Structure 1
């Protein structure tokens, strides 16, 4: 990014940019480009913005109009760049509300909490171990401390060179990490990638440990939108883009991209539109599809790497509108382990205004269940029924509740980060000067993950284009790219020799 470049384009000098994908990454890229004066067209194939955090209106059996989304997402306080995007329409982030805790429960009876864990590293990690019932003294004493030291000095991107060839499960076994803590905490984290920890790259798990425990002082508490995603986040951001002059198109899939002169031609709906640059801000499956339909886009090696991107196994979001409330002491969000396929339970009226109004009017509860990394061959109706049965184990009072209505969302479009895949992930800069990529499937050499990786790569993609045009980009923030404790860094370096 040129430090003394222009602040924005002159009115007659603005390039045309096609942003393909209206999820977090595409919205971040489109927002920064439009703010700098580029003529942006945002193409989103679905009828609403938000990507994997989109929502749609639906009518319940009792006549209530509600919003169904693809499930609970935690807006951690380390998501600096995502929060910067949201501040465009909500400067004080008043549409986010904090949840007081992030409890984790194992079916064997162990329960962890993050409410009292210190936030300052390394006390955050040490405090979690001291306060957690899943860390027994005997198991802690049996840990291989030397093998565990790399957890305390995670460096990006070096962590991928060292640990991308090992699975998360294998790394934890090599450390002799306490079994209870492994199932209760790290399995929950790995499954937040919608992946089985036996397949997930250990580098991604170590990166998560760095982001939330040793690289930042925000801890593991988080905020959530106080209304459904469309109303709280994406509709205001779409309006903001239109005010900046962007052409925001929903229900507008892109069929392909081809080079055209010094820029590109985007094919959509049978028409072809010229542009000076393209941002492909798509999920792994969408990127594979567009590149496959664009034979002139990139050489064989780059195209093979895109084709090799994997999507995680299917996941299920079940939302139930019950005729009676769950117990008043149930948290807004509960992570679970050992309950079959059930990964977490949310009680939406604890934090979402729409659900709270429905619960107040009817005397009921709105409960959401997640199952990640479901066997692709599983009977979906049976999985849905199993989740409801598991809910009754976790919250027994729901056994007597009548389900007024239910919605079940199945998807399989999250990126998979299997062992040994990092070097093949496409980078932000594409094979043409006018082509950039963004999204949580894109390689990023900053310590970011999940939604924050999507937002960060979106801004990085816009920065890359702006730098080529001599226009200032945006400063980005992340947790430190290495461990914060000099003592632990030295110990980890010694162990690596």
Structure 2
């Protein structure tokens, strides 16, 4: 027998020893965020000559872009179609009896690995606007599994798995069989995430189809299904590659654990307004209710944009073709997509079906009213506002000519202006949601291979299934043994519950004054065919509220708010390759939004903030300025080769 070890054996020994050393080190030392160092040289941080940037979209992505650029000396104009800034985290006023509250699009949690969002929070000194919610529960209907509780951690993979197995009352139900090769393939996929490799291997298959290939049933029920839906995409239309990214960011590559923060007040007060105030303090201009009517493009650049402000609309007549797909006894429909109009039969009266809140197309309900599926605004049969967040009625028009299968319309509003306002810019950032982005590209008359490629990318972007929020004011409080925000599994509609009267100050004060409670239920990605109307959604929420909290069975609902959104980005199979990146082939156009292809793992609000900062970095780089360092969890899984 040879007494000397072979070179291969030595290499194996060193590799195993190295891995064991890393594992041991990661058990006692908390891993630090990965820094994406953009510039190795020290470059100037601020402009020394005037440059104008137009940011379109006032959600988190647009706010982050405008924030960074205004801090660096750019003359920034931020345009937002809605009356409120914030996009999916906007807030607006509602009245409940004699009390006023801020309503939102639903509760949002801030996880500790939201490094780039937290850096802005620290810079503008608003840490006190956030509070720890201590831990995070997942609760299962009919006690199919014991509740899972996730807490802060100081260990990364694999020690967080070890800690979970020790603390979980369900670990014996995980269903892992180490003799099953399919289970090893699942283990390898979730522990070896890497961009773009994981997408190359798994982007073509949906989570539902991938689950059929051998995920242990207990693991799927306990973790994969609840967390997949919390990405706001249903498992049957969610790319497995995207799920791996989501899991890596929130768990396998995350050394922070799943405890999280909430805002002490509404999101607008706690986060949106402070960022906006910083932008204006640095000389930035913010214009809300800005309806863009034209984007002027020439050569390889965007030259300017034109827009109407507030209720002002163009007085230029236009033709619209009949829509053959929509039939109704009361209206004829013309146009399509985001330019859809209803003409009252046998009259010259017409109105736009674009919601005046953020431009989503409203849908006719069984009672004849029109509901905005994005944020829950309601209009009557004549297009007049019934429920917020919209403040203005639908825009009205007159039919002035009829020809074959089309009509000519002209605005019938009191505030008609002949000319839009125009803004020129050195750079433009499009930071809208998917629907808004598609609308903007419909306004550009461009040509050439590069422009055609970008337009194809934009057209390929998908929307997720709708998201619904029901918030209920009740005349009774109740005991609750789980976290004040908890995921729920096994219900027909409801995916989470939030106890607002134990989180935000104005709701706490109301509960203390009245002895009541304020509870919010979320449906992350419901199927429209199962819940086609507002009434069906609300009725199911109420039914499931009593199932989730039986103590409320004899409580009276004093007030209720329902918000629907169908504007979250979709990540379906085979979508990764076509997803646009921050920088485009139009030299002075940047993209920002959670639909942007990312070079590092991130999710939800952190993804939006990161893309906004990336768009700012792209502009800074073109101007020869120092780019901002961006942070993330470890970009690759431990077992990545």
Provide the residue aligned with 1:52 in structure 2: 88
Provide the residue aligned with 1:97 in structure 2: 131
Match of 2:207 among 151, 156, 168: 168
Measured in 1, the distance between the counterparts of 2:173 and 2:153 equals 18
How far has the Cα of 1:81 moved from its partner?
0.6
Measured in 1, the distance between the counterparts of 2:43 and 2:298 equals 27
Measured in 2, the distance between the counterparts of 1:28 and 1:367 equals 31
TM-score, normalised to structure 2's length? 0.72
Is the contact made by 2:251 and 2:257 (CA closer than 8 Å) also made in structure 1?
Answer: yes
Is the contact made by 1:326 and 1:397 (CA closer than 8 Å) also made in structure 2?
Answer: yes
Measured in 2, the distance between the counterparts of 1:203 and 1:246 equals 39
How far has the Cα of 1:383 moved from its partner?
1.6
How far has the Cα of 1:344 moved from its partner?
0.5
Q: CA RMSD in A?
A: 1.8
Is the contact made by 1:256 and 1:291 (CA closer than 8 Å) also made in structure 2?
Answer: no
- Structure 1 unpaired stretches of 5+: none
Measured in 2, the distance between the counterparts of 1:213 and 1:314 equals 26
Query: Quick check: 1:63 aligned with 2:106?
Result: no
Is the contact made by 2:476 and 2:517 (CA closer than 8 Å) also made in structure 1?
Answer: yes
Provide the residue aligned with 1:24 in structure 2: 60
Provide the residue aligned with 2:286 in structure 1: 248
Match of 2:197 among 158, 161, 171: 158
Provide the residue aligned with 2:635 in structure 1: 481
Provide the residue aligned with 1:345 in structure 2: 497
Moved more, 114-123 or 319-328: 114-123
The structure richer in strand per residue is 2
Cα shift readout 1:312-362 (whole Å, capped 9, x = no counterpart): 111111101111112154531111111111100100122211111111111
Number of equivalences: 482
Measured in 1, the distance between the counterparts of 2:171 and 2:239 equals 24
Match of 1:361 among 485, 496, 513: 513
Query: Quick check: 1:296 aligned with 2:296?
Result: no
Query: Quick check: 1:306 aligned with 2:342?
Result: no
SS at match of 1:249: strand
How far has the Cα of 1:95 moved from its partner?
1.1
Measured in 2, the distance between the counterparts of 1:31 and 1:272 equals 22
Match of 2:122 among 80, 87, 107: 87
Provide the residue aligned with 1:467 in structure 2: 621
Relative distance call for 1:301 and 1:98 in structure 2 (3 A) is: same
Relative distance call for 1:122 and 1:263 in structure 2 (3 A) is: same
Is the contact made by 1:319 and 1:367 (CA closer than 8 Å) also made in structure 2?
Answer: yes
Provide the residue aligned with 1:384 in structure 2: 538
Provide the residue aligned with 2:164 in structure 1: 128
Query: Quick check: 1:209 aligned with 2:247?
Result: yes
Measured in 2, the distance between the counterparts of 1:59 and 1:329 equals 30
Cα shift readout 1:2-29 (whole Å, capped 9, x = no counterpart): 533321012xx12100000011100110
Query: Quick check: 1:278 aligned with 2:317?
Result: no
Relative distance call for 1:128 and 1:169 in structure 2 (3 A) is: farther
How far has the Cα of 1:386 moved from its partner?
0.7
Larger RCO (CA under 8 A, 6+ residues apart)? 1
Provide the residue aligned with 1:438 in structure 2: 592
Relative distance call for 1:133 and 1:168 in structure 2 (3 A) is: farther
Is the contact made by 1:157 and 1:446 (CA closer than 8 Å) also made in structure 2?
Answer: no
TM-score, normalised to structure 1's length? 0.93
SS at match of 1:218: coil
Measured in 1, the distance between the counterparts of 2:151 and 2:43 equals 45
How far has the Cα of 1:184 moved from its partner?
3.0
Query: Quick check: 1:264 aligned with 2:303?
Result: yes
Alignment of 1:387-398 (within 5 A): 387-398=541-552
Is the contact made by 1:147 and 1:174 (CA closer than 8 Å) also made in structure 2?
Answer: no
SS at match of 1:430: coil
Query: Quick check: 1:449 aligned with 2:603?
Result: yes
SS at match of 1:299: helix
Cα shift readout 1:146-183 (whole Å, capped 9, x = no counterpart): 31212111112221111111212233332432x23312
SS at match of 2:244: helix
Is the contact made by 1:195 and 1:372 (CA closer than 8 Å) also made in structure 2?
Answer: yes
SS at match of 1:253: strand
Cα shift readout 1:258-315 (whole Å, capped 9, x = no counterpart): 2257652011112221111100001111111111121228522221120111111111
Provide the residue aligned with 2:383 in structure 1: none
Measured in 2, the distance between the counterparts of 1:26 and 1:115 equals 32
Is the contact made by 2:475 and 2:556 (CA closer than 8 Å) also made in structure 1?
Answer: yes
Is the contact made by 1:15 and 1:39 (CA closer than 8 Å) also made in structure 2?
Answer: yes
Measured in 2, the distance between the counterparts of 1:352 and 1:66 equals 11
Relative distance call for 1:127 and 1:330 in structure 2 (3 A) is: closer
Measured in 2, the distance between the counterparts of 1:368 and 1:453 equals 24
Measured in 1, the distance between the counterparts of 2:482 and 2:557 equals 18
Query: Quick check: 1:188 aligned with 2:241?
Result: no
Is the contact made by 2:464 and 2:568 (CA closer than 8 Å) also made in structure 1?
Answer: yes
Is the contact made by 1:317 and 1:408 (CA closer than 8 Å) also made in structure 2?
Answer: yes
Provide the residue aligned with 2:395 in structure 1: none
Relative distance call for 1:295 and 1:129 in structure 2 (3 A) is: farther
The structure richer in helix per residue is 1
SS at match of 1:87: helix
Moved more, 167-176 or 184-193: 167-176
SS at match of 1:58: strand
Query: Quick check: 1:418 aligned with 2:572?
Result: yes
Measured in 2, the distance between the counterparts of 1:237 and 1:437 equals 20
Provide the residue aligned with 1:428 in structure 2: 582
Is the contact made by 2:137 and 2:148 (CA closer than 8 Å) also made in structure 1?
Answer: yes
Relative distance call for 1:129 and 1:360 in structure 2 (3 A) is: same
Is the contact made by 1:440 and 1:454 (CA closer than 8 Å) also made in structure 2?
Answer: yes
Provide the residue aligned with 2:390 in structure 1: none
Provide the residue aligned with 2:360 in structure 1: none
Is the contact made by 1:76 and 1:222 (CA closer than 8 Å) also made in structure 2?
Answer: yes
